[in-house]
Amino acid sequence: MMFTLFGTPIGGGIVMGRACVVESRLLDVPRYRIPDGAAGAEVARLADAVGVVTEELQSVAAHLSADAPAEARALLDVHTMILNDPALLDAACAKVESDLVNAEWAIAEKAEELAAQFREIEDPYLKERGRDVEQVTARLLKALAGSRLPLRKGQADEALIFVANDITPADMLQLRGTLGFVIERSGATSHSAILARSLRIATIVGAGGASRLIRDDDELILDGDTGVIVVNPDEFVRHEYRERHQLAQLEAQRLGRLIHVPSTTLDGRAIALMANIEQPEEAREALRLGAAGIGLFRSEFLFLNRTRMPAEDEQYAAYAAAVQAMQGRPVTIRTIDIGYDKALPGHELSSNGVSALGQRAIRYSLAEPDVFLAQLRALLRAAAHGPLRILLPMLSQAQEIEASLALVARAKDQLRARGVKFGASVPVGGMVEVPAAALSAGWFAQRLDFLSIGTNDLVQYTLAIDRSDPRVAHLYDEFHPAVLQLVAATIRAAGKAGKPVSVCGEMAGNVDACALLLGMGLTEFSMHPASLLRIKREVLRADAGRLATRVRRLLATDDPARLRAGLERLADLRAPTATRRWEDAAQPDVQAVP
């Protein structure tokens, strides 16, 4: 019987093939008391299991192909760090010894406590790190049970679509000839999703019930760009998706021909299209796709899932690698954005707890000046290798800006005293992520060198909606009149002060928002690299001057229905034929972009 499932698309296009259901749920954890004197043997069992899993991860890393994406090795390193995190392993051993319980019980309980801390974090990317803890724990439990991840092999040389409740990056890398992945539990910011995106494999996450409803050998059509899974399609549907697949391949080729085309509107306005990245290795892909620079490099990856704070030299090496990879194009690095309910290594949370509106992002950094100064010194040193900008997250108060600038000056003095080379003129900007910052954008623009609008958080804080909460996620609306007024006001304020301003949230990569932002006067967009060429095509087809007139009238209304209708009519100003001379040109030397 044919039926359809839906999930969150990660990309990779349309694939068709047989299903292989991977049993990857956590084992039913045995829980029992152990006799006095048996704790040592139980701790040794756990240590042996850690050794087995470590060898598995090392083996996967050793067998990575030469052309494997850099993210693959980095994600294996993350799981190895979690595996050896004292917050997990030492705590489990202590529970075995103090409570006289078996190793499985202890590691499962401590892993749940650690994962729960991540799940409480508001930021979607950081929230997903709890999934990494669960995945590592699943491997440990399987090792304790003397088993490995059961994978059913297909026929020789047969590519399969793997369906799982959850699957680790390491297991994904072990599967050969994969056509695609359907994963129930992962989110768009999970490491499994990040790896699938970097491998350019068709993937859908958040597909509820998939591993229960899909059976081995079911025929699947997987559309990684729309999030649709068709199970046991009939011939009519097969034919329709074959045609869609051919059109998608043609579309990828046409987009690939825009890589080297300057990003300029029809009326001659230059638009900088930049990329958001999370690890230095991703800079190479951004450069390949023609990014004008890195508009947002999230530095949290250096601080999470580890047993100690990253040293200044380690941070410097990572930041310098990204700067050098971009070959002279600017790299904007955001200082650490974490802290309200997840302590960094060696920094315990307050015993009173901290709310979601508490000590996070810049507040956390200012409360830990030694940590902040180490990061600032590393950033300044990396700036000696090329254009680098420092971005301060979650600003809301004037004193936060003044205190941050004072610490930047102190970091420079410390480097001078050490005789270390650094970038003397490094621009310092601020994130506009809360209504207070947007309403204060004029003053912020006077004190800072640039502004960057984080629309993801701005929408959440303006509408008081947690988009990761399925009960209210449907109310998340980046086109809400209040949100658009704040975005437009920030762009105007920066323009009046003569300072650059960008949008670096998901809105920047939304094709439906491109004309609106251009009409507001935005000239710098930063997005996931996969969106760069689609947004470039919209820019090439747009007349910013004509859009500005229409958008001014549009923003005068606070009626959501009228605003939506006006947004749809902006598409009428697009010139679809404007890019034909590039898209239709035969350029076999340009690689197609999926």
Please return the burial class of 471, using the count of CB atoms within 10 Å of its CB with bins 0-12, 13-18 and 19+: exposed
Active-site residue, 504 included: yes
Cα gap 117→24, rounded to integer Å: 23
Beta-sheet pairing, 501-503 with 178-183: unpaired
Main-chain dihedrals φ then ψ at residue 555, nearest 5 degrees: -75, -5
Cα gap 196→339, rounded to integer Å: 28
Q: Is the dihedral of CA 165, 124, 312, 91 positive or negative?
A: negative
CB 218 within 8 A of CB 232: yes
Residue for token pair 């917050």: 87
Q: Is the dihedral of CA 565, 566, 572, 576 positive or negative?
A: negative
Q: What's the angle, vertex CA 456, arms to CA 393 and CA 208, rounded to 5? A: 130
Active-site residue, 480 included: no
Sequence length of the chain is 594
Residue 324, classed as helix, strand or coil, is helix
**Helices within 435-559 (DSSP H only):** 435-439, 441-447, 455-463, 481-497, 511-520, 532-540, 544-554
Cα gap 143→458, rounded to integer Å: 44
Cα gap 122→461, rounded to integer Å: 11
| Closest residue by Cα to residue 518 from 541, 539, 497 | 539
Going from the C-alpha of 436 to that of each of 200, 335, 396, 397, 557, the distances in angstroms are 39, 20, 6, 8, 22
Of the residues 385, 504, 514, 528, only one is catalytic, namely 504
Residues in contact with 132: Cβ distance below 8 Å, sequence separation at least 6, in sequence order: 78, 79, 82, 190, 191, 305
List the strands of the sheet with 160-164, edge to edge. 3-6, 228-231, 219-223, 14-22, 160-164, 178-183, 202-205, 8-11
Cα gap 37→333, rounded to integer Å: 52
Going from the C-alpha of 264 to that of each of 211, 267, 268, 579, 581, the distances in angstroms are 46, 8, 6, 11, 15
Going from the C-alpha of 394 to that of each of 117, 357, 499, the distances in angstroms are 21, 10, 19
Cβ atoms within 10 Å, residue 87: 19
Of the residues 191, 385, 480, 528, only one is catalytic, namely 191
Cα gap 526→466, rounded to integer Å: 23
Report the largest interatomic distance among the alpha carbons of the chain, rounded to a whole angstrom. 81
List the structure tokens of 27.
């084992």
Please return the burial class of 209, using the count of CB atoms within 10 Å of its CB with bins 0-12, 13-18 and 19+: exposed
Residue for token pair 């047969």: 158
**Could you give the residue numbers annotated as active site?**
191, 504
